[in-house]
Structure 1
Amino acid sequence: MFGPEGAEGQTEHTTDLNDKIQDFVTRNCFGDIWQRDHLTTIDRSKITFAMLVATGRAHETRIHARGALANGVTPLQLREIAVHATLYCGIPAAVDGLKALEEVFAEKGISLDLDGESTGKTTV
């Protein structure tokens, strides 16, 4: 999901405490499921982000927001996924998703002015 540098970052933080789960995640999630045909990496990033917002997994939501951006999902698309979650997951889940995005966008220097809707000015 994050390319070779991301995989190396994960393996560098592997300890005797987390080595079994890290091995499972590396082999099964990213070595098998994420490599399957029929969905693009961008599609998988969007789906994963949406599922994590829906299940209220804030830590993983932030991780996968970073991954989605690295995979080419736009900040505006991530925002729209979180807003869409309001309908199907409830306001608290959507708010938590937006909070996660706000943190990741700040960390990455991404402006929160995504489309001008809050000011009434639409940007392209």
Structure 2
Amino acid sequence: MTTQKDLLEAGLDVRRDMFGVAGAEQALETATDFTAPMQDIVTRWCFGEVWNRSPLDRKTRSMLTLAIITTLGKQNQFKLHVRGAIANGVSKEEIREVLLHTMVYAGVPAAVDSFGSAVEILKDLGLEK
């Protein structure tokens, strides 16, 4: 039986792998009384439960996440998940193809914004000029 504590630890492991120890810890350490319950749920449910389900691997989940976040137009989250996608083995070329595919189905403005955000993060990671 998986406990809430097990899910929290599993979620923290995923967050650390994707966003680095500092990024994962910062999200929890900066939580306030107001935001702590949200961070707990995100860690347990999103990263502990969903990101650890089979049969999809983390790379596939990252590509799906980039497409969904592009569609929603949530650029701050998109930038975070570009870093996570790279950590999960998604290549720069695969990110480009996800965005081109999303552009056709979700719209040009959403994809153009995400291309700009992806370039910003890829430059920070030394993967783009």
Shared fold (TM-score, shorter chain, > 0.5) = yes
The structure 1 segments of at least 4 consecutive aligned residues displaced by more than 3 Å after TM superposition are none
| Higher-helix-fraction structure | 2
Is 1:89 paired with 2:106?
yes
**What does residue 22 of structure 1 align with?**
39
**What does residue 115 of structure 1 align with?**
none
Is 1:104 paired with 2:121?
yes
**What does residue 31 of structure 1 align with?**
48
Give yes or no for contact 2:119–2:128 (8 Å, CA) kept in 1.
no
TM-score normalized with structure 2 length: 0.80
Q: In the TM superposition, what is the alpha-carbon distance from 1:66 to its structure 2 partner?
A: 0.7
Note the 1:34-73 alignment, pairs <5 A. Answer: 34-73=51-90
1:37–1:56 CA distance, 2 compared to 1 (3 A): same
Give the RMSD, CA atoms, in angstroms. Answer: 1.5
TM-score normalized with structure 1 length: 0.83
Is 1:13 paired with 2:26?
no
- Segments of 5+ residues of structure 1 without an aligned counterpart are 113-124
Deviations 1:82-123 (A, max 9, x none): 1112210111011011011011112112125xxxxxxxxxxx
Deviations 1:16-40 (A, max 9, x none): 2311110110010001011111100
User: What is the aligned-residue identity percentage?
Assistant: 38
Give me the whole-angstrom Cα distance separating, in 1, the residues matched to 2:66 and 2:78. 6
**What does residue 119 of structure 1 align with?**
none
Give me the whole-angstrom Cα distance separating, in 2, the residues matched to 1:8 and 1:99. 27
Letter in 1 for 2:72: T
Give me the whole-angstrom Cα distance separating, in 2, the residues matched to 1:66 and 1:15. 25
Give me the whole-angstrom Cα distance separating, in 1, the residues matched to 2:120 and 2:33. 30
